[in-house]
Amino acid sequence: MPDEDGHPAPEEMDLGEVLSALADGHRRRVILTLLAEPDGTERHCSSFGLPVSKATRTHHFRVLRQAGLVRQVNRGNSNMATLRRADLEQRFPGLLDVLRREAGRPGRPGRPAEPQ
């Protein structure tokens, strides 16, 4: 049973839901960006620069949270997202490595934005 914020326990994470969440380029971009950060990094949901409305951004993060890819914490007037790296590695060993390798291929959708 997911917690009160909608985060499933690692044993409740479903591979189909995780892959479905990652199929979207915007959501994959969020995960790849967090994956490139040090473990435990928290980022404002608006800091990923997704070219979508606030409502659509909220939807994308809800999908990521419900699939178990991110943990979201309300910090007053903003939500912070953290990659659930250890939980994902426990439940789906090697998945994050596959994403890392795929992100490194030229011309792949969902790659993190290059620094300006």
Residue spans per domain, the chain: 10-101
3-state SS class at 87? helix
For residue 111, pLDDT beyond 70 = no
What per-residue confidence (pLDDT) applies to 113?
Answer: 44
Give the tokens for residue 109: 């959708």
User: Using CA atoms, how far apart are residues 85 and 34, in angstroms rounded to an integer?
Assistant: 9
User: Chain-centre distance of CA 25, in angstroms?
Assistant: 11
User: Each residue of 39-91: pLDDT tens digit?
Assistant: 999 999 999 999 999 999 999 999 999 999 999 998 888 889 999 999 999 99
CB-based burial of residue 95 (10 Å sphere; 0-12 exposed, 13-18 middle, 19+ buried)?
A: middle
DSSP E strands, the chain: 43-44, 70-74, 79-83
Fold annotation for 10-101: Arc Repressor Mutant, subunit A (1.10.10)
